[in-house]
Amino acid sequence: MNPPATRQRQHGAGLFALLLLGQLGIAAYLQTTHASRFSNARTTEADVHVTLSMARDILIARAANDDNRPGSLPCPDLLTDSPGLANIPGDGKADMLTRNQCPSPIGRLPWVTLDMPEPRDDGNNTLWYVIAPNLRDDNSAMPINSDTPTGLALDGNGEIAALLIAGRTPQAGQHRPSNNPSDYLEGELSGTSTFDYISPDKNGNDRMLAISREELMAAVEQRAVNSVRRCLSAHARQAGHYPWPAPFSAAARQGRAAARFGRLPLSQPGEGATRMLDIAASALATGQEALASAPDAATQLSALAQLAEASVQTANLLTSLAQVGEALKTLADDTKTPLTGLESIISSAAANDRIARSEGSSIRAGLAAAIIAVDHLDEALLHYGLDALSWQAATQGKPPPEETARAALRAATERLRQAGEYFTSLDTAEPRPLQQSLVGPAREISRWAQQAATLAGLISTHAEAVAGTAREQQDVATTSLLTISAKDGARDAINIWQDKPTTANHSKALAALAAAEQASVQLSAGLREQSSVTHGGEAAAWPMVWASIHCRFLHEEGSWWNTNQWADSIFYQTSSPAEPTQATLQAAGRKQLSLIVIAGGSRRDKQARPGASIQDYLEGRNADPSRNGDALNPVPWFDIPLSRAQGNDRIAF
């Protein structure tokens, strides 16, 4: 578990402390706050409660700040016995997974793994700990989010994330020291895949603190909304605008122009790839100019940060170009196949200047399949805006044609559809074994099918060129970013020189700066090459291009966001996506806010997930109906629930 290195604005003192605890490091936090209180065994009931409470805070902080599975917990320390791997029972280290499961759901609290002093009770015993099986830190486990069933109950009441138990002084029949939980605890854990911990009767002396799923996930949800807020803010700084949200009316999470509230979008409407390439080139040029004119190390570091963000934006744009090109080529090829197949059917059927009844049926079926394929390709051209005819004209040194490839394809498809309707009307009006009158209409179908197939082939060739060039330039973008941000990159070299201003370190810093500048220049050249093959206009739904490295978790395969399926329950609202400085929103008594991110906590009674309205996710005034549908004019205010009864929404602004 590697906690993120940066801090976000938090709201709610308890959640702030938990997330800060994970970000600063548990050991450092304890040294500055409560280290002395952990140093000795507890002597009073109140002290035992303090020990349990502090251990709870540390466990929640660890879960909330986990890089890969926020909300996951370490295995208890009980059974792993491997001196070779430096992990034995009672050493404070979490047991290692066995067949993707914790060897035991109950054991001692793994205080070494949690980077905390050993937590002892008033009997001088390490605290005991029960983990919910579905929250184990293993990728084979189910995704962890607000609605994940934990698999652990307490006296029949779920959803419990973990139990912390102080065994205290020995009771009759208990023998210590021991590695047997029953020698310390009077409670009993029953079940297999789903566990229920049965509390001891009043004669026992255990003291227990349960961590509910909602309590644990409150911190995880706060971490999630903080991460999204930081991403959106960084994107707006780099791109000059927030992305259009994906409102409830957008079934495929398309960003919709004019929407103000919704989920994080998977696509955006906009001016298209050609314009996006121009914007990326301009951002690179601005960063290059800033670096070239930087008079000192501090300014150079600032310019490098600017150039790094421009490189990230460019890399993400190139990735989207490659994905779009590959998807469009596949669709174009899948469209050309039934069109050429239809031509072949008609050519064979009309060879004898008459068409049999069975051949007429084959023509109608082939026509229907071809029309469906063309419609799919037409929709993709609408989404992506690429124009193969403009590209073809440029390669031939001709001016751009007045008609786009999509318009030409739509015209050919309409003529194909009309020819098909006429053929069908003749073929079905008076069916006969052989009909000479169908030959002409069939050949008219073939004519337009051939024209559509030719266009599909050109679209495929153009898409392949776009994707191939983008894949080549992705490597250049990666190199540019590495020369800035990687270990031994320009930023590291300058920082080392500042810490130790030797001649050798100065030379290394200058060399690293030169390498970063050169790589950036090569990336600019790569963008020009990409622009030469990428022709097109407005795009209705171009794949989302995030403009900041702080948004990496949204699009990286295997990231905590994607693996744990957070996209459904987190929303944001802006005063104006196109104007990030506009600030008309309100939350928690604060006014003049430009951005608010909100997470719906675990599903409550009468809520459905996935849901069709905001009432399925948020509560109270946050679930205002104006946030449903297209969300063109949602109310500007949000409330932070002050109690569980008021709701479990989490907010960042």
Q: What is the pLDDT of residues 121-143, one digit of tens each?
A: 999 999 999 999 999 999 889 99
Those residues whose C-beta lies under 8 Å from the C-beta of residue 411, and which sit 6 or more positions away, are: 403
Average pLDDT of every residue of the chain: 92
* Buried-exposed string 323-346: b where 16+ CB fall within 10 A, e elsewhere: ebbbbbbebbbebbebbbbbbebb
Q: Is residue 180 part of a domain?
A: yes
The residue out of 467, 491, 509 marking a domain boundary is: 467
Residue 518 has a pLDDT of: 97
- Does 555 have pLDDT greater than 90? yes
Domain identity same for 258 and 161 = no
CB-CB neighbours of 74 under 10 Å = 23
How much is the pLDDT for 16?
45
Residues 31 and 171 in one domain: yes
What pLDDT sits at residue 7?
Answer: 30
Closest CA to 533 of 321, 217, 229: 321
List Cα–Cα distances, 19 to 24, 57, 410, 587, in angstroms. 9, 10, 55, 21
Residue 32 has pLDDT above 70, yes or no: no
Per-residue pLDDT tens over the stretch 152-185? 999 998 899 999 999 999 999 999 999 999 999 9
CA distance 41 to 310: 54
**b/e per residue 247-257 (b: at least 16 CB within 10 A):** bbebeebbbbe
Residue 642 and residue 204: Cα distance in Å, rounded?
Answer: 35
596 pLDDT above the threshold of 50: yes
Contacts of 650 (CB under 8 A, 6+ apart): 15, 218, 221, 222, 224, 225, 598, 599, 601
Using an 8 Å Cβ cutoff, are 51 and 30 in contact?
no
pLDDT of residue 302: 97
Domain-located, residue 231? yes
pLDDT band at 497 (very low <50, low <70, confident <90, very high): very high
pLDDT at 26: 47
Same domain? For 386 and 246 the reply is no
| Span 562-582, average pLDDT | 97
Domain contains 378: yes
pLDDT for residue 42 is more than 80: no
Report the predicted TM-score, pTM, of the whole model to 2 decimal places: 0.90
For residues 555 and 643, membership in a common domain is answered with yes
Residue ending a domain, among 443, 467, 491, is 467
Q: What is the pLDDT of residue 645?
A: 85
Q: Residue 270: helix, strand or coil by DSSP? A: strand
Q: Do 186 and 258 share a domain, yes or no?
A: no
Look at residue 256 and tell me whether its pLDDT is greater than 90: yes
Helix axes 503-533, 297-349, angle to 10 degrees: 30
Q: Is the pLDDT of residue 83 over 80?
A: yes
Spatial CB neighbours of 136, under 8 Å, sequence gap ≥ 6: 72, 73, 75, 97, 101, 102
From the centroid of its chain, how far is CA 547?
Answer: 14
- Per the structure, the count of domains in the chain is 3
Residue 112 identity (one-letter amino acid): V
Confidence of residue 13 (pLDDT cuts 50, 70, 90): very low
Inside any domain, residue 339: yes
Q: Within this chain, do residues 340 and 436 fall inside the same structural domain, yes or no?
A: yes
**Whole-number pLDDT of residue 201:** 78
Give a yes or no: residue 628 inside a domain: yes
Query: At 352, is the pLDDT very low, low, confident or very high (cuts 50, 70, 90)?
Result: confident
The answer as to whether 166 is a domain residue is yes
Average pLDDT of span 397-407: 96
Q: pLDDT digit string (tens) for 414-445?
A: 999 999 999 999 988 877 777 888 999 999 99
Residue 361: which CATH number? 1.20.120
69 and 192 housed in the same domain: yes
Name the pairing type of β-strands 152-154 and 195-198.
parallel
Does a cis peptide bond (omega within 30 degrees of 0) precede residue 159? yes
Based on the fold, state whether residues 194 and 251 are members of the same structural domain.
Answer: no
Residue 505 domain-assigned (yes or no): no
CA distance 330 to 333: 5
Distance CA 373, CA 120 (A): 69
Q: What is the pLDDT of residues 291-328, one digit of tens each?
A: 999 999 999 999 999 999 999 999 999 999 999 999 99
Flag whether pLDDT at 194 surpasses 90: no
Q: Are residues 32 and 145 in the same domain?
A: yes
Q: What average pLDDT does range 456-468 have in this prediction?
A: 98
Question: What span, in angstroms and rounded, lies between the C-alpha atoms of 609 and 567?
Answer: 12
Shared domain for 382 and 453, answered yes or no, is: yes
Look at residues 410, 440, 467 and tell me which one is the last residue of a structural domain.
467
> Residue 602 contacts by C-beta under 8 Å, 6 or more apart in sequence?
146, 147, 159, 213, 214, 217, 648
User: Two tokens at 647?
Assistant: 């709701």
Q: d(Cα 107, Cα 158) in Å, to the nearest integer? A: 20
- Residues 6 or more apart whose CB falls under 8 angstroms from that of 232 comprise 242, 243, 551, 572, 595, 597
Residue 35's pLDDT is what? 47
Whether 39 and 69 map to the same domain: the answer is: yes
Instruction: Dump pLDDT digits (tens) for 519-544.
Output: 999 999 999 999 999 999 999 999 99
Instruction: Provide the residue range defining the domain that includes 637.
Output: 221-266+544-652
Residue 515 lies in a domain: no
Instruction: Judge if 232 and 131 occupy the same domain.
Output: no
Contacts 24+ apart (CB under 8 A), 625-630: 627/248, 627/261, 627/571, 627/573, 628/247, 628/248, 629/247, 629/248, 629/249, 630/247, 630/249, 630/256, 630/258, 630/259
Among 14-28, 64-78, 584-598, the minimum mean pLDDT is found in 14-28
